[in-house]
């Protein structure tokens, strides 16, 4: 998000000099000789801050500040004052003005204040955007994200949801494999049937076969009543087998027959019962890699691997993390009856800098702790780095370094680089231009 500067001064020479100072510092500036002209360009969601002289003909800077405050009290206004106006400017600070700068002022005094004000405006607008997106995200579409990877994932799910093809979901712990399985069921014509989930790693070997296939009375010690297994209960719907890599070898053999014949034989009977089900399996290991597959049967893997859906970890789609955090924080605030926390610069830095090994689940729990106020605030950038640079400068430097690393790793290829960064193509080219990066140098 690029924040522009609205500069207001009826002294043309001073206005031109101030504009040049700001443009040399890298800011986009629009200047106006009258306050009314500038006010007409502003709205509540303007990606802008205002730098204005106080003493002007017609509407002066104080009147302009009052009008802007009524329009959006979170839009920063920096007042340029003469010595005789300092007492007046101090009073406006108490009323909510962002800063005042006394004439004559050194260029870096203005630039530093503008840097802080633009960062504040960027955070305010980002907070608004995230809160709006979080509150308008429907509960039946939990796959939140705007990166190309998530757009592709949603598109793939829509394409295959209404087919009866078995699906293997690959993804790290906490990445949302059950969410994907649930959507495959919900978006299919099987949605009126049962969605039956079983975590293969949570049950001992002595129990899992009874859970899956069911049993008749007397099938084993303690089997006093007939039990319908998960497979039969899922007939007409979807059977979700999570952590299928943990399924015992003896059960894998029987599961392979179920997938091939679409029939089940409960324990304790020779009766064969047909089942109409779709199987969605999830694994946190790469079952296609023999080294990781271990004792998992290769033929069962290939039988399940009709369609494989890979869920990208959070560290590969960092642009989605603030939106996901806002969604989880909004839900937590409602559940715990707490105020929704503001997105601070330090919080943004933590969200973008942490690798989130627990993925979406870890992020959700982190959002709950932030809402409850039991997570210590991340250290400010200046304390963590000791670089002496301002926060915007450090963020810009870090972003440029990440882009250069991605270009190097992908040998300058645009498609693979934007996929690695998880940003739209237009945003990628905008950032190249802003950081002065020549993509061709990495080919």
Residue environment code for 259-276, b if the CB has 16+ CB neighbours within 10 A, otherwise e: beeeebbbbbeeeebebe
Cα dist from 175 to 66, 171, 234, 371, 437, whole Å: 48, 6, 24, 22, 33
Residue environment code for 183-201, b if the CB has 16+ CB neighbours within 10 A, otherwise e: bbbeebebeebbbbbbebe
Q: What percent of the chain has pLDDT over 70?
A: 90
Residue environment code for 213-239, b if the CB has 16+ CB neighbours within 10 A, otherwise e: bbbeeebeeeeeeebebbbbbbbebbb
Average pLDDT over the chain, rounded to an integer: 85
**Contact assessment for residue 175 and residue 313, using Cβ atoms and an 8 Å cutoff:** yes
Q: What are the structure tokens assigned to 156, written together?
A: 């793939």
- Average pLDDT rounded to a whole number, residues 402-416: 81
**Contact assessment for residue 332 and residue 367, using Cβ atoms and an 8 Å cutoff:** yes
Asked whether the domain spanning 148-312 has the same topology as the one spanning 4-136, the reply is yes
Q: What are the structure tokens assigned to 51, written together?
A: 């730098």
pLDDT of residue 299: 93
Strand-strand pairing, 263-264 and 273-274: antiparallel
Partners of 170 in the β-ladder: 283, 310
Q: What is the pTM of this model?
A: 0.61
Kindly state the greatest CA–CA separation across the chain. Answer: 100
> In which band, very low, low, confident or very high, does the pLDDT at 409 lie, cut at 50, 70 and 90?
confident
Class of domain 4-136: alpha beta
Class of domain 148-312: alpha beta
Of 255-264, 381-390, 431-440, give the range with the top mean pLDDT.
255-264
Model confidence at 293: pLDDT above 70: yes
Strand, coil or helix: what is 269?
A: coil
Residues 6+ positions from 334 with CB-CB distance below 8 Å: none
First to last CA, the chain: 28
Angle 153-154-159 from CA coordinates, rounded to 5°? 100
Q: How many residues does the chain have?
A: 443
Q: What are the structure tokens assigned to 364, written together?
A: 């959700």
- Average pLDDT rounded to a whole number, residues 222-241: 89
pLDDT of residue 40: 93
Model confidence at 1: pLDDT above 50: yes
Q: What percent of the chain has pLDDT over 90?
A: 42
Model confidence at 385: pLDDT above 50: no
pLDDT of residue 85: 65
Question: How do the domains of the chain map onto residue ranges?
Answer: 4-136, 148-312, 316-442
What is the side-by-side strand order in the sheet with 77-81? 29-32, 4-8, 48-53, 77-81, 99-102
pLDDT of residue 441: 67
Is it true that the peptide bond before 104 is cis, omega within 30 degrees of 0? Answer: yes
Higher pLDDT, 393 or 239: 239
pLDDT of residue 387: 46
Burial of 44 (0-12, 13-18, 19+ CB in 10 A): exposed
Out of 71-80, 311-320, 375-384, least confident range:
375-384
pLDDT of residue 410: 79
Neighbour tally for 433: CB within 10 Å: 9
Model confidence at 282: pLDDT above 90: yes
Rounded to the nearest 5 percent, the helix, strand and coil shares of the chain are 50, 10, 35
Helical H segments across 137-224, by residue range: 148-161, 177-186, 205-213
For 150, phi and psi rounded to 5 degrees?
-75, -35
């Amino acid at each position: 998000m690029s924040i522009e500067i609205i500069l207001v001064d009826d002294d043309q020479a001073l206005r031109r000099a101030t504009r040049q100072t700001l443009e040399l510092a890298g800011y986009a500036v629009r200047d106006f000789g009258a306050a009314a002209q500038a006010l007409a360009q502003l709205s509540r969601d303007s990606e802008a801050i205002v730098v204005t002289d106080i003493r002007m003909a017609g509407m002066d800077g104080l009147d302009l500040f009052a009008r802007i405050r009524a329009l959006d009290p979170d839009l920063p206004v920096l007042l340029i004052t003469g010595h005789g106006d300092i007492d007046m400017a101090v009073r406006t600070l108490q009323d909510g003005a962002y800063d005042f700068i006394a004439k004559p002022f050194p260029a870096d005094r203005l630039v530093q204040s503008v840097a802080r004000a633009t960062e504040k405006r960027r955070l305010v607008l980002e907070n608004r955007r995230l809160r709006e997106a979080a509150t308008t995200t429907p509960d039946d579409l939990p796959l939140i994200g705007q990166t190309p990877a998530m757009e592709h994932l949603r598109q793939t799910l829509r394409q295959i949801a209404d087919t009866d093809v078995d699906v293997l979901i690959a993804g790290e712990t906490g990445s949302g494999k059950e969410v994907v399985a649930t959507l495959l069921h919900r978006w299919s014509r099987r949605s009126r049937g049962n969605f039956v989930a079983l975590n293969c790693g949570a049950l001992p070997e002595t129990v899992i076969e009874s859970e899956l296939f069911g049993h008749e009375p007397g099938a084993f010690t303690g089997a006093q009543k007939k039990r319908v297994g998960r497979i039969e209960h899922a007939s007409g719907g979807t059977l979700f087998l999570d952590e299928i890599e943990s399924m015992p070898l003896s059960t894998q053999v029987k599961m392979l027959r179920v997938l091939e014949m679409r029939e089940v034989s409960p324990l304790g009977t020779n009766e064969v019962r047909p089942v109409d089900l779709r199987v969605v399996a999830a694994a946190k290991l790469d079952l296609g890699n023999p080294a990781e597959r271990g004792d998992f049967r290769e033929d069962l893997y290939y039988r399940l691997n009709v369609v494989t859906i890979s869920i990208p970890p959070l560290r590969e789609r960092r642009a989605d993390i603030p939106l996901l955090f806002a969604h989880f924080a909004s839900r937590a605030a409602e559940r715990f009856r707490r105020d929704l926390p503001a997105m601070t610069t330090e919080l943004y830095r933590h969200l973008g800098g942490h690798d989130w090994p627990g993925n979406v689940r870890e992020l959700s729990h982190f959002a709950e702790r932030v809402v409850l106020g039991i997570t210590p605030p991340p250290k400010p950038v200046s304390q963590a780095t000791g670089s002496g640079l301002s926060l915007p400068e450090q963020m810009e430097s870090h972003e440029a370094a990440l882009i250069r690393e991605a270009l190097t790793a992908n040998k300058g290829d645009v498609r693979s680089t934007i996929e690695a960064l998880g940003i739209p193509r237009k945003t990628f080219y905008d950032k190249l231009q802003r950081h002065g990066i020549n993509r061709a140098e990495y080919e």
